[in-house]
Every structure is written in C-alpha cells, then in structure tokens.
Structure 1
Amino acid sequence: MDIYYMQIYFQLFVFHLNLFEEAVESFALILGITSDHPLINLLMGKTLFNLGRKEESIEYFDVAIKNNPMCYEAYLRKSRIQSNLITLGMTLFNLDRYREAIESFAQLIEMQPTNYEF
C-alpha cells in the first residue's frame, strides 16, 4: 500500500472519531494532491457540514457528483441543505420575520442561481 492510500485511511479514521477540524486540514492536504477524488470531496463536504459550514460543503458535494455521478450520498446531503433552507425561509415568513426569510432564500439562490423551481 503506498503512502497516498495510507494517508486516506488515516483521514477516514480521524473523520470517524469526529475530529472535524483536524479532518478538514488533512482532507485539504489530500485534495492538494488530487483535487478531483470523489470520496475525499464527499468526506470534506460531510466534515464541513458537521462544522456548520454548510454552504462551503456544497462545493465539495458538487465536485464529488461531477467526478462520480453515482455518488448518491452527495446528492442527498446537498438536497437536504437546500430543503432545510426552504423550510427555514417559509417558517420565518409565516412568523412575519421577513428580513430573515429573505436571507434564507438568498442563501438558497446563491447555491443554485439558475434553479427556478424553488
């Protein structure tokens, strides 16, 4: 087993221990070597999501999907984020908290500016 795969396995171990900050640093190093690896992009997205950096995580889910169209988990996680923003926006709107609702919808539009089906 070469050093590259040993490093990937180590990072998977770090991820599963919920050491998310350390995992982000490690995945960034691996992505510096091979930026299009679907699994590493998926894991980076999941790690950022767990750290509350949801918008940033979508970028990595998109790369995972682009390089492996069968990466269903990336599709699922991305759609979950978008669905939560829609729900949040509608809830805020119904509570007459319009400014916050607009911010939620603006985040959604930022993620998918050409999607008119929301």
Structure 2
Amino acid sequence: MSSEAKFTGVKIPMRRLGRYEQPLGIDSDDHEIWYSRGEALANLGRNKEALICFDKAVKLAPKNQAAWTFRGVVLIHLKRYEEALTSCDKALEIAPEDKEAWMFRGAALHRLGRYKQAYTSYDKALGIKKTSLWQRLIEKVGNW
C-alpha cells in the first residue's frame, strides 16, 4: 500500500491518520476533529467510516459547507447518489457559489442519469453563465 493517500487532490501521508485514530471519546464535540478524521479516512478509501465522521461533523456544525460537500463525495463513492445530491444541495444552501459542491452535485446527477441537470451544475462549477438567444440580442442592442 502506498505511503500516501489522495482524496481531495492533496496527498496526505498515511502516517498522519494515526493522530486521528487516537480515541476521540464518545462525547467529542469538536466538528473539526470529525471532519479531519473523515477526510483522512476517505483518503484511505475507508468511505463507510469517513461517512460516519462527516455525519458527526455536520451534526455538530450544520453550517459547515465543506463537511456537507465532502459528505456528498463519500456518498458518491458509496454509490448512494440521491443522498449525495441532497448533501451537495445542503452545502449550496450555505454557500451558493461553492464550485466543489456544484461539481460533485453534477457528478451525483450524472450517476443518476440526469444529464441535463448535471451539465448545468458543471457549468456553475466552471463559472459559465447561460444566457438565452433573446438575452444575448438584448445585450447586443443595449451595447449598440
């Protein structure tokens, strides 16, 4: 097994997981610890365990859009696409411009076969603004 794990585009030495493997205690209420442990476990491909951590993180900090987003990522890996979509939507309620949440929302929709909606989400992740032919004509006339 590699000495590094990769999940969110950042390589994390597997030895770092050890600090998150320390007993957290049943009553641990630090959402950052749960988030970090979830990310480390996801980097190792331990998605079921990661989901438990992200669930705890969003319970403790329901406005943590990053935890909602990466909860969605883990759910995609677990092939639970409807739940992933819901999680990404929750992240977008908190941070409507979050490009990662839009990207993973698109991935969940794509896996559900909802391609048109998926591409709309991908466009938002890329910052592409769709305008109708009528809107483009009005803009051209206005700039004339």
> How high is the TM-score relative to the length of structure 1?
0.64
CA RMSD of aligned residues (A): 2.0
Gaps of 5+ in 2: 1-28, 116-144
Deviation at 1:37, TM superposition (A): 0.8
Q: Secondary structure at the match of 1:35?
A: coil
What is the distance in 1 between the residues matched to 2:109 and 2:55? 25
Q: Which position in structure 2 is the counterpart of 1:53?
A: 80
Higher-Rg member (1/2): 2
Distance 1:34 1:3, change over 3 A: closer
Point out the structure with the larger strand share.
2
Write out the 4+ residue segments of structure 1 that deviate beyond 3 Å after TM superposition: none
Q: Which position in structure 1 is the counterpart of 2:62?
A: 35
Point out the structure with the larger helix share.
1
Distance 1:22 1:75, change over 3 A: same
Percent of aligned positions that are identical: 19
Aligned residues: 86
Q: Which position in structure 2 is the counterpart of 1:108?
A: none
> How high is the TM-score relative to the length of structure 2?
0.53
